[in-house]
Amino acid sequence: MHTIINLAVFALLIGLLVKQQKTEQTLSKRVFTSLGLGVLFGGALQFIYGGGSDVISNTLEYVNIVGAGYVSLLKMIIMPLILVSIIGAIIKVKDSGSLGKISVLSIGILLATTAVSALIGILVSNLFGLTADGIVQGAREIARGEMLQTRLSSVETLSFADMIISFFPGNPFADLAGSRPTSTIAVVIFSAFVGVAGLTVIRTNPELGESLEKFINVAQEVVRTLVRLVLSLTPYGVLALMTKVVAGSNYDDILSLINFVAASYVGLGLILVMHLLLVSVVGVNPVRYLKKILPVLTFAFTSRSSAGTIPLNVDTQVKKLGNGEGVANFSASFGATMGQNGCAGLYPAMLAVMIAPTIGINPLDPSFMLTLIAIVTISSFGIAGVGGGATFAALIVLSAMDMPVALAGLLISIEPLIDMGRTAINVSGSMTAGTITSRLLGQADQDIFNSEETVDTAKA
């Protein structure tokens, strides 16, 4: 009966969001409304039934149909969006030479910001005096440590060359189905080749080229309409995802590790400031920029999925920031699989600093810091080669530093809470790379960025 009542309340909240949509509120306002409602509803469930209650578990099982279903729909449109957008952008630009510049700039910015993120992680960890000593190892922590130890073998056998090779699309149809951790990058590369081949057809056979351009334009319009349909469901997905996070959290565990949580979010906040400073260098108003990307970061925060945020990321870059369509797709795709500032930059560096004193290493030793930053930066390029985000980033870095990887399991109880912030910063990093690249290559529309009246995907 309690579960039925809870689901009835959840249904009423969805009805409230539907009513808000009918009043033609902007998507941004509805996203923040759903975020607040999710926090309140999840908090109420915790307050009434207590953490770990069977009633909460049963309620969240059905609430998650909306949240997980929405994330699945977003993942559904990732590959078609990347495919037609990149092909269309290349054909419209009619300059295959710009692909190399876009790729080099986007990846270079992602790696550079990851290196700075690692430095921020080192400094914040030392500032807060973080150490692995004294953290209680319960059954879950020990089990997680053993799991990490067993998975270490798959990381140790993976060379940098193997990581690079895994980016190439040996079977583009399998990659379009997302069969590998590197499928997103493989589809980007495949799309670029198709776009260049399309340019050749346009130049050598104008008649066929004209038909090709019409086909790509139709395909783009169909995919854009599909994207708008799915993005219009964002408030409902955020409501469910935030309810699950708040109601399903163990606050006793969070309080016991509050120092690490606080240090993590201070570090993430500093990385966000770095992103704003970087975009301001290329003439972008950081306050206006933050206002425009905040709904995207909010969804990334609640969903904990960099890949799932790609459609919203691309849509915002093009329609609100004025970034070039090709640049937006490249940066969003690369940023979801490599050079992740939060998962592959800040987090492994903080873990290494925490573990260092337990094995007799001074975390403030300059040689240790430089080595750690270099390893974090290089390994962040290959995270896509193994999948698993922050966990594999930590495995690669700790094993390369010859540190015990099992100690990374000590933070399992607060992992979801920290992962929310890390994901938002990953997405912020990819949007920063796209914005800077667009400005440097002259592919940005400043009028779109300056406009207060931006296109609302839910109304289009």
49 has a pLDDT exceeding 70: yes
In a domain, 457, yes or no: no
Please give the pLDDT value at position 15.
93
- Percent above pLDDT 90 for the chain: 36
pLDDT given for residue 335 in this prediction: 86
**Overall average pLDDT of the 121-136 stretch:** 81
Determine the structural domain holding residue 68 and report its residue range: 2-450
- Quick one: pLDDT at residue 405? 74
| pLDDT value, residue 157 | 60
- Range scoring the smallest mean pLDDT among 141-145, 310-314, 446-450: 141-145
Q: How confident is the model at residue 147 (pLDDT cuts 50, 70, 90)?
A: low
308 within domain boundaries: yes
State mean pLDDT over 139-144: 50
Look at the chain and report how many structural domains it folds into. 1
User: Does residue 458 fall inside a structural domain?
Assistant: no
Least confident of 38-42, 75-79, 278-282, 454-458: 454-458
| Residue 283 domain-assigned (yes or no) | yes
What is the model's pLDDT at position 346? 93
pLDDT at 385 over 70: no
Residue 51 pLDDT: 73
Mean pLDDT in residue range 410-414: 67
Model confidence over 314-364: pLDDT tens digits? 999 999 999 988 899 889 888 887 888 998 899 999 989 988 888 888 888
Q: Which amino acid is at 327?
A: V
Is the confidence at residue 407, as pLDDT, over 70?
Answer: no
Across 252-271, average pLDDT = 85
Domain-embedded: residue 456: no
**pLDDT value at residue 305:** 82
Q: Tens digits of per-residue pLDDT, 237-248?
A: 989 988 988 887
- Tell me what pLDDT residue 224 has: 85
pLDDT-derived band at 455, boundaries 50, 70, 90: very low
In CATH, what number is assigned to the domain containing residue 259? 1.10.3860.10
The pTM of the full predicted model, rounded to 2 decimals, is 0.81
The answer to the question of residue 192 being in a domain is yes
Q: Residue 41 pLDDT > 90, yes or no?
A: yes
What value, to the nearest 5°, has the Cα angle with vertex 58 and ends 52 and 59? Answer: 95
pLDDT at 282: 94
Q: In this structure, is residue 219 part of a structural domain?
A: yes
Cα separation, 327 vs 62, in Å, equals 38
**Is residue 455 assigned to a domain?**
no
